Amino acid sequence: MSETRMLREREGLIFERSSAGRVGYQLPPLEVPQVDPASTVPAGLLRGEIDGLPEVSEVDVMRHFTRLSKWNYSLDEGMYPLGSCTMKYNPRINEEVVRLAGLAQLHPLQPADQVQGALALMWQLEQALIAVTGMARVTLQPAAGAHGELTGMLMIRKALAARGEHRGKVLIPDSAHGTNPASAVFAGFETVEVASTPQGTLDLAAVARHLGGGDVAALMVTVPNTLGVFEPEIVKAAAMLHEKGAFLYMDGANLNAFVGIALPGKMGADALHINLHKTFSTPHGGGGPGAGPVAVSQALVPHLPVPMVEREGDRYTLAYDRPGTIGKVRGFYGNFGMLVRALAYIRSLGRDGLKSMAEGAVLNANYLRTRLEGDYHLPYDGPSLHEVVFDDSIQAAAGVRNIDIAKRLLDYGFHPPTMSFPLIVHGALMIEPTESEGIDELDAFVAAMKAIAREAREEPDLVRGAPYSTPVRRLDEVRAARQPVLRWRRPDD
């Protein structure tokens, strides 16, 4: 790390590297007459060179971003146990096939007869996701999980409207990811938080009480929930909702826990988004792009967004003629590049590999749970599936909080677990190892966590001052928010 720290001292912003007259590109010869824009466009609508854009060479750019890359921790280097985020290995064959010119360069507005391969690929992915979920159909359009939630909730709203009903409320357990309530609101609903049971699971009695009012449109629930525990009452909950004319929205962020084992379709889900960038290994890219296809039950099929890929014999079309549709939710048809990678992953794993993926993810999480129980407190002790949630209550006695444990883990060469939720756990450490890790990597993580637990008892200040070995130490987040500096400006500006 000392070497990269030195590079860090030398590597400023790209704008600070600028040196007059350097260029990092060459265009082909113009070949046609130059045109003075002022001869075609009113002068008042034009601009000249943009002040502040850098002048750098290709070498400068290569070095700059290569150096930046070295200040990142990444999955390629080691375990990345962010709970709920499912940071699993990103196979390189997927990166290879997505770059085939016939896929990467394809324009979305080419006529259907020119894009049969792309449409066939999308149709195949939809069939695969139907197989994995047991649902009726799947829209591939949403760009991310939250976008999928919104799409699903818009379909539920439309289905109610088609029945001549307006129901304003959506029930959401207090253990839910923050996107659930946000998405419900942007679909025009009011959210009602449902407190979890003492076991951290869905409170069926509370759901029943709310359903009595007749104004509940849906329940949004994550299965397994954010504690990594399967919701034991999910089938009953679905039946209760359906009996009252309400819908079950299932957040599929944790679908990887039971692929090949169980089907959301059998659980009674009406809509389920699938984070392809979690369960199906498309890379997270430092914050996207993701893809959040939504699988739906028969009841919501008429309301799927347009277009849908349809097959007629051996021909595929983009179908827009769907009278009950919610309309379009984005430009074009989906994050196609992510769809390509996900289908490649599904093909590589096959039916047995997908099941073994879920088994490996669950076994790895349970192994960590067994090895770390005692050193860290387990606030809810239901059976873990793909992730396990500890808290910092043992360490808090010595003044060491989850964030301190997280920062100290960086010194041991691991990315920390998720800490920001579930909100029902104070000081959460949500650990999701995924099936990618072997026992040696898990043991190294356990050793680091145990060492930190010991340090928290014996040298709490050491943990509270971490990290020590990273390119920067703890950053002043309060200052960043109080005096926002959100862009570079020339020092004399």
Partner 1 sequence: MHRYQAGQGDRRAMLDAVGCASVDELFVSIPAEVRCGALDLPPARSEEEVRREFWAYAGANAAPECFASFLGAGVYRHVTPAVADALLQRGEFFTAYTPYQPEVSQGTLQAIFEFQTYVCQLTELDVANASLYDGATAVVEAVLMAARTLPKRRRVVVAGTLHPDWRAVLETYCEPMGIAITQAGWGGDGRVDAGALERLLGDDVCAVVVASPNFLGVVEDLPALGKAIAAAGALGVHAVAEATSLGMLAPGGRFGFDVVCGELQAFGIPAAFGGPLLGFFAARQSHLRQMPGRLVGETADSAGRRGYVLTLSTREQHIRRAKATSNICTNHGLMALAATIVLSLLGKKGVREVALASHAKAEYVKAGLRAQGAGSRAKLAFPESPTYNEFLLLHDDPDGLLARLKAEGILGGVSTIRFGAAWPKGILVAATEQNTREECDRLLDALQRLA
Site for partner 1 in 194-253 (CB under 8 A): 229-230, 232, 234-235
Q: Nearest 5°: CA angle at 449, between 446 and 452?
A: 150
Non-local CB neighbours of 435 within 8 Å, separated by 6+ positions:
88, 356, 357, 358, 359, 360, 361, 364
Q: Per CB under 8 A, does 70 bind partner 1?
A: yes
* Minimum distance from residue 441 beta carbon to partner 1 (Å): 9
The 288-327 site mask, x for binding partner 1 (CB under 8 A), equals xxx--------------x--------------------xx
Count of residues of this chain found to bind partner 1 when the rule CB under 8 A is applied: 204
Q: Closest Cα partner for 379 from 366, 392, 360, 395?
A: 392
- The answer to whether residue 74 forms part of the interface with partner 1 (CB under 8 A) is yes
- Determine if 270 is a binding residue for partner 1 (CB under 8 A): no
Select the residue interacting with partner 1 from 83, 252, 283, 422 (CB under 8 A). Answer: 283
As a whole number of angstroms, the distance between CA 241 and CA 261 comes to 24
Q: Is 221 helix (H, G, I), strand (E, B) or coil?
A: strand
Query: In this structure, are residues 225 and 380 in contact, taking their beta carbons and an 8 Å threshold?
Result: no
Pick from 6, 209, 266, 374 the residue near partner 1 by CB under 8 A. 266
Piece of the chain touching partner 1 by CB under 8 A; list 100-108, 206-214, 392-400, 453-461: 100-108
Subset of 364-383 contacting partner 1 (CB under 8 A) = 364, 366-367, 369-371, 382-383
- Is residue 424 a contact residue for partner 1 (CB under 8 A)? no
Please identify, using beta-carbon distances, which residue of 143 and 207 lies nearer to partner 1: 143
Structure tokens at 459: 């040298």
State yes or no: residue 126 binds partner 1 (CB under 8 A): no
Find the binding residues for partner 1 in span 331-360 (CB under 8 A): 331-338, 340, 344, 346-357, 359-360
- The answer to whether residue 76 forms part of the interface with partner 1 (CB under 8 A) is yes
Look at the alpha carbons of 334, 337, 340, 343 in this order and tell me if their dihedral is positive or negative: negative
Kindly state whether residue 6 participates in binding partner 1, applying the rule CB under 8 A. Answer: no
Please name the amino acid found at residue 23: V
Q: How many CB atoms lie within 10 A of CB 479?
A: 10
The CB density around residue 136, as the number of other CB atoms within 10 Å, is 16
* Sites for partner 1 among residues 381-420 (CB under 8 A): 382-383, 385, 406-407, 410, 415-416, 420
137 vs 158: CA distance, rounded Å: 17
